[in-house]
Structure 1
Amino acid sequence: MTLIELDGTEWSILMKYKEQAPYKLMRLKAEALMLLHENVDIGTVARFVDRRPSTVRAWVRDWQKMRLASVHTGHAENLNASKLTADQRAQVAQILASPPSEQGLPAQFWDVPNLASWLHNHFEVVYESDSSYHFLLHMAGMTFHKPEAVDKRRGDEATIAKRMAEIHQEIAPHLADPDTIVVAADEVRIEHEAILRRAWQMAGTTTRIEVDRQRQAQSYIGFLHQDDGKVDLRRLDWQNSDTIIEALTAFTAAHPKKKIVIVWDNAAWHRSKALRAHLGPGNLLERIHLIHMPPYAPDHNPIEHVWGEAKTSISNIQRATFDQTRTAFEGFIRGNKFPYRLE
């Protein structure tokens, strides 16, 4: 049995302590605890960190009592009881308003290890509980959530803003024309795999539930109407030029005698030669006018918010079959009007 059990968060924090902690003892403790978690013999760990086995055992006992706070103890005159003054808290709030890289820390975002390192270096303050660091982060107006990924190929914000202004100007007369439909369009893909975790059952018995363990997926294209917020949702066999042409053909058939303006991204099948061949006077999609958004700027396409809402609506319920998952996704979108518009 391992002497140390670490969860994912503790492992991540100890890894940062091992690489970035301001004191050698902190780095050695973090490394020893991680090795012990991996079932490395305590004697081997002691030799690796150049300490006696009895010292490493003491680190284990401290860990069992104080968890991450134990990594800070035993150095710098044991300043765990130190507190920040009101002026120091104000300085911390000001520092947290800028990225840690501006303080010489190799990170894009503030986290507990980086904040702990900065506080110790500047004020010789070490808190025993991570919640104290969380309080400081909240005090600075920060919240804990997943950062938004941004494609490196994305243009600068001024260029994107200029293109969006051009789009607004272009669609303005169409929005005022009752014979024209303006939509924001995009494709999405949902996946399903039944994963059975735990269920309450009588002790000593086994309950079996039949589920479909095959992973399945469904692609869609959606047209978010800019007048009333309804979404015209259509299934796709795949996302390519042929399926998009079929979907556009069906969409135009559903709105006879209407001119259609579609604002969407720059996916290859949105600009393909096959699609362009169907546009223009006398062709199958002659009533459609396409407008392309700035490259790699999906956050400006309002239907992305629809996909986010719809996926959230089905994410907390494990359905036994893919048809049930698909029906729930489609029902949510078709049963609602959405407030998202091209802005």
Structure 2
Amino acid sequence: MIRPNFLTTADRLELLSCVKRQREDYGVARRANALSLLNDGMSCAQIAKVLFLDDDTVRSWHKQYLAEDWEAVAYDGWKGGQSRMTIAHEADLSEWLEERFCRSTAQIRAYMGAKFNIHYSHSGCIKLLARLGFEYRKPKALPRVADVEKQAAFIAFHTNLLNNLPADEAVDFSDAVHPEYQSKPSHGWARKGSNPAIQTTSGRVNIHGALNLETFDAPFVEPTTVDGVSSVQLLAKIEARNPDKRIIHVIWDNAPYHKGPNVRAFLSRKNCRIHLIQLPPYCPHLNPIERLWAVMHSHVTHNRHYPTQKHFANPILNFMREVVPKKWRNFRDQVTDNFRIISHRNVRVVLYGPVTV
């Protein structure tokens, strides 16, 4: 029979600390737990039953502690066995995995069984994959973007345009936004366990707007539908807001209504001062007004609930009419033309489909 209270005060505190540390190695924590319970008076058989061990294992740990010390008991010299996969097998498996995206170890184990006649358990396969440098992760969504060359060409064009812009010309970026009358949950600090929630609604507001980064003038219209008519209304408002400009360069995307008959008729007018510039396809990141829309959402829609659509629309319109003209310096650093090129070159694009062995 093993007598209790055999641990020194220092070792007892160290063992209790090992048991409570969440990041402690599982094997070390089990040994610390067993010795602590043994020190408190439980028998080897009782501890073995509680911890699902053999009672001789508990006795061996106690014997080792008395003969050496806790450090000796805590040391795990086990290094694992020889892998059943040869180096050639592992290289083959790695190459096979690089060419596809397996969502389950079942697919991988089936391949190893068919190709190498080697069969792994689920947990064994996970350990093998970790050793080979693979991890279980979710691919991130990649938006469609224009060619890198087209993005670079536009950025160079825009830089040259601004650097050589005469005093009687201006540059406006334009786009439409459709804030939904629906509360947008967003991250924030809350007391743990408080389960914060906001009510949801439905509906939306349409805004067709423009932005001059030099003056932060932001003309906009509130159409029922964003189309060629609203595009012309916006262009007319941009002209009216710039009476001293000979040419106003308006940069916007390739939406069909931006190139439709209404817009073409407006541009064909005598003395029309609007010069349209199309963004490269799939490049909203090259339009600074998108950043203004993000600021608007953070001010108006994130984590806010409005009882009616009118209550929802008024703060949005107030943001455009009052906040932008008067307080634009507060978020000037967030709405810039500090463009960057988005490329898929540094990612592995996953092509989903049946995984063949």
TM-score of the pair, normalised by structure 1: 0.50
Q: Which has the larger radius of gyration?
A: 2
**Higher-strand-fraction structure:** 1
Instruction: Compare relative contact order (CA 8 Å, sep 6+) and give the higher one, 1 or 2.
Output: 2
